[in-house]
């Protein structure tokens, strides 16, 4: 990246410059590990064969005590959510220490698994100074975790790769958050595209990566989001508008994560658009349910069940009160 996106961007002679995509040589692809688990591996240890996986961030995103955070996690796990997820800003603040959160949340994760008969997991944010990230990852493993989460851009590519190496030995999957990307990907005339970030994420070894929604609250065109999904989840990527062809040489696929302003009423649009090999992350669309987080989690899981079994949401809601209440509140409204 120092070569292809280095000093050239700072040259006075350059008015605008944008790096849209990189076609990676076979030898370079082979020099990276890529995802340790990928789509198939995550589905295997979560014991979910076909449907989209469901994740949720507690709200408010930052400020809850460890006890409050754990309570929300337990409620949404019981309601049908697969993954509790930390916010990108939550790491080791005094009101919710990382060590305390690990101990408390995994205890209640185990409880939720026993009560539901389903696998549950946690994208817990280990982002920090590199040695501290490794220490936190080992703590997650010691308490029975399967995933760590890292803010890949603020941690830096080298920090991310060091964590990836540690997670190889610990057998931990990596949930990659793209916080900070829009500071250089949003300007269509200058900077680096999100497609390049996705490339690097898959090369180094993210098992999950956020790509946007198109109909959610975050910036991202239909073309961009589909290109990101293809770059992460295809073996061969065809050349297209602002995109180079790519042969991933058999590297495992990274799970695309769709998030930002979602609720039960628009999940059919997301699945129809992106397919079933996605992690759907819902925050306010769960916690804002009239009957609380547990009911909100049930509503979103019911929406995914309706999609999987070929029912319309309206039809399925007639027999599922939580989904019915969610549709009454939000309908099919899309965030502006």
pLDDT at position 312 is 97
Q: What is the pLDDT of residues 142-197, one digit of tens each?
A: 999 999 999 999 999 999 999 999 999 999 999 999 999 999 999 999 999 999 99
Question: Does some domain include residue 326?
Answer: no
The tokens for 40 are 């198939």
Question: Cα separation of 247 and 236, whole Å?
Answer: 5
Residue 269 lies in a domain: yes
| Active-site residue list | 59, 177
Does the residue 302 lie in any domain?
no
Q: Contact, 33 vs 101, CB < 8 A?
A: no
Residues contacting 185, CB < 8 A, separation 6+: 191, 192, 193, 194, 197
Structural domain count of the chain = 1
CATH number at residue 156: 3.20.20.110
Q: Which residue has the tokens 């509503």?
A: 299
> What domain range is 221 assigned to?
20-293
Domain-embedded: residue 12: no
Q: What is the pTM of this model?
A: 0.95
Structure tokens that stand for 242 in this block: 């602002």
Question: pLDDT tens string for the chain (336 positions)?
Answer: 999 999 999 999 999 999 999 999 999 999 999 999 999 999 999 999 999 999 999 999 899 999 999 999 999 999 999 999 999 999 999 999 999 999 999 999 999 999 999 999 999 999 999 999 999 999 999 999 999 999 999 999 999 999 999 999 999 999 999 999 999 999 999 999 999 999 999 999 999 999 988 775 555 578 889 999 999 999 999 998 889 999 999 999 999 999 988 999 999 999 999 999 999 999 999 999 999 999 999 999 999 999 999 999 999 999 999 999 999 999 988 766
Q: How far apart, in whole angstroms, are the C-alpha atoms of residue 252 and residue 206?
A: 10
User: Could you tell me if residue 329 is inside a domain?
Assistant: no
As a whole number of angstroms, the distance between CA 246 and CA 243 comes to: 9
Task: Say how far apart CA 294 and CA 80 lie, in whole Å.
Answer: 8
Residue 25 domain-assigned?
Answer: yes
Query: Is residue 34 domain-resident?
Result: yes
């Amino acid at each position: 990246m120092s070569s292809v996106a280095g000093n050239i961007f700072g040259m006075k002679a350059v008015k605008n410059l944008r790096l849209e995509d990189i076609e990676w040589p076979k030898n370079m692809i082979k020099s990276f590990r890529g995802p340790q688990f990928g789509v198939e591996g995550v589905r295997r240890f979560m014991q979910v064969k076909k449907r989209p996986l469901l994740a949720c961030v507690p709200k408010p995103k930052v400020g809850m005590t460890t006890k409050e955070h754990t309570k929300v996690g337990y409620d949404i796990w019981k309601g049908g959510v697969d993954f509790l997820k930390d916010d990108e800003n939550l790491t080791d603040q005094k009101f919710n220490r990382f060590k305390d959160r690990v101990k408390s949340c995994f205890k209640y994760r185990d409880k939720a698994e026993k009560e539901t008969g389903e696998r549950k997991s946690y994208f817990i944010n280990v982002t920090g100074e590199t040695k501290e990230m490794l220490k936190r990852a080992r703590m997650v493993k010691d308490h029975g975790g399967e995933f760590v989460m890292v803010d890949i851009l603020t941690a830096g590519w080298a920090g991310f790769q060091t964590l990836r190496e540690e997670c190889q030995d610990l057998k931990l999957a990596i949930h990659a958050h793209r916080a900070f990307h829009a500071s250089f990907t949003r300007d269509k005339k200058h900077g680096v595209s999100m497609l390049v970030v996705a490339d690097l994420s898959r090369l180094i070894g993210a098992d999950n990566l956020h790509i946007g929604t198109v109909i959610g609250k975050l910036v991202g065109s239909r073309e961009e989001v589909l290109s990101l999904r293809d770059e992460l989840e295809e073996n061969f990527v065809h050349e297209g508008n602002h995109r180079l062809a790519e042969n991933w040489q058999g590297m495992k696929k990274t799970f695309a994560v769709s998030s930002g302003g979602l609720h039960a009423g628009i999940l059919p649009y997301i699945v129809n658009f992106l397919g079933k090999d996605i992690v759907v992350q819902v925050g306010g669309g769960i916690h804002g349910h009239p009957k609380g987080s547990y009911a909100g989690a049930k509503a979103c899981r019911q929406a995914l069940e309706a999609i999987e079994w070929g029912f319309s949401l309206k039809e399925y809601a007639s027999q599922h009160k939580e989904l019915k209440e969610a549709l009454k509140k939000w309908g099919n409204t899309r965030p502006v």
